[in-house]
Amino acid sequence: MNEAGHEKLRQLWKKGTDFLGTEYAILGGAMSWLSESNLVSALSNAGGFGVIACGSMTPDLLSNVIEETHAKTKKPFGVNLITMHPQIDELIDATLEQNVKYVVLAGGIPTADSIKRIKDGGAKVICFSPALILAKKLIRSGADALVVEGSEAGGHIGPVSTSVLAQEILPHIKDVPVFVAGGIGRGEVMASYLQMGASGCQLGTMFVCAEESIAHENFKKMFMRSNARDAVTSVQIDKRFPVIPVRALKNAASVEFMDVQREVINKYQAGELEMEAAQLEIEHYWAGALKRAVIDGDVENGSVMAGQSVGMVKKIEPVSEIIANLLEQAAEQLA
């Protein structure tokens, strides 16, 4: 074990570990259906920071998942809430009632009201920032920490790569911890972002095939035989119906998504659907398609969301092993 490298690593991410209350500043990316009590508690118990993916859950369902997680770990963990969820206020209240001290707001720019509600309830707020100007605005609005996530990530993504975002944002944001995410698969790259000023890193794809992940065996097999270029982004076919691009492994569902968009747009043009209802129908495609793949194992007709680091996932192993390998690689690089 490279003690000098590990000591340097501890110093570099001290701001992140102090903020999270963890041994390592490694956050688990919140992945719908996957980031539930098993994977989240395994991450926190291994010294990282697990994050529950609320997705489209109701407040009652979220409360149950938080309770299950509390029963499996005494370590800190967070809850990821989607800002455009129609019950966002109730979800914030449910999270605070369960004594969760960290809320990650994703899927859009959070309102000042949401941030205030969380902070008044005694929790810290972590926000995603896809640009420097927004990072500064979010800090003014009260964000306690930021995640900058590049387009290499899996699931819903922005247009800019991780390395460019890191260069744009890290040198200019010093007052709150900034965690870098998107396409991170090895410890060496974590070390390089820490040296640039990051307080830690967030990884999702690397934990999908963990022993503790409830992903269906077919889902894990598809991950392990895929490479970076198989993780492609969905395509928007009508600018009136903006689609937040989704990165997933190529399969029949990627093609079907185009047909779904066409059908919905035809219904809208025929006057059968209002604009907002049509937009929701397009968005909902991914929620249903993801469950089909993750839980039911239908990896052809479901959505196999994956980041471009998928090519580095080659075996099923415990979360603690995945983290130990990342630490060793980072320490070697730093030494």
* CATH number of the structural domain spanning residue 149: 3.20.20.70
Total residues belonging to the chain:
335
Judged by phi (left if over 0) then psi (alpha if -120 to 50, else beta), residue 264 lies in alpha
pLDDT for 90-120, tens place per residue? 999 999 999 999 999 998 899 999 999 999 9
Q: Return the bridge partners of 80, or none.
A: 53, 104
Q: Are residues 282 and 164 in the same domain?
A: no
Q: Are residues 262 and 314 in the same domain?
A: no
Sorted by sequence, the CB contacts under 8 Å of residue 17 that are 6+ apart come out as 10, 23, 24, 25, 200
Q: Are residues 196 and 95 in the same domain?
A: yes
- Evaluated on CA atoms 264, 269, 270, 271, the torsion sign reads positive
Q: Are residues 121 and 240 in the same domain?
A: no
How many whole angstroms separate alpha carbon 155 and alpha carbon 53? 12
Q: Is 245 among the domain residues?
A: yes
What is the pLDDT, as a whole number, of residue 46? 98
DSSP string, 37-78: HHHHHHHHHTTSBEEEE-TT--HHHHHHHHHHHHHH--S-EE
Q: Is 27 among the domain residues?
A: yes
What DSSP designation does 29 have?
A: P
What is the pLDDT, as a whole number, of residue 243? 79
Q: Are residues 181 and 232 in the same domain?
A: no
Which of helix, strand or coil describes residue 274?
A: coil
What is the pLDDT, as a whole number, of residue 163? 97
Integer-rounded Cα radius of gyration of the chain: 19
Q: Are residues 207 and 267 in the same domain?
A: no
Q: Are residues 114 and 245 in the same domain?
A: no
Q: Are residues 318 and 254 in the same domain?
A: no
Q: Are residues 290 and 318 in the same domain?
A: no
Q: Is 255 among the domain residues?
A: yes
What is the pLDDT, as a whole number, of residue 236? 87
Q: Are residues 200 and 267 in the same domain?
A: no
Q: Is 221 among the domain residues?
A: no
Q: Are residues 280 and 208 in the same domain?
A: no
What is the pLDDT, as a whole number, of residue 235? 85
Q: Is 220 among the domain residues?
A: no
Q: What range defines the domain where residue 270 resides?
A: 227-305
Number of domains into which the chain is organized: 2
Q: Is 28 among the domain residues?
A: yes
Q: 242: burial class by Cβ within 10 Å (0-12, 13-18, 19+)?
A: exposed
Q: Is 219 among the domain residues?
A: no
What is the pLDDT, as a whole number, of residue 162? 98
- Using 50 as the pLDDT threshold, list the residues of the chain that sit under it: none
Q: Is 234 among the domain residues?
A: yes
Q: Are residues 206 and 259 in the same domain?
A: no
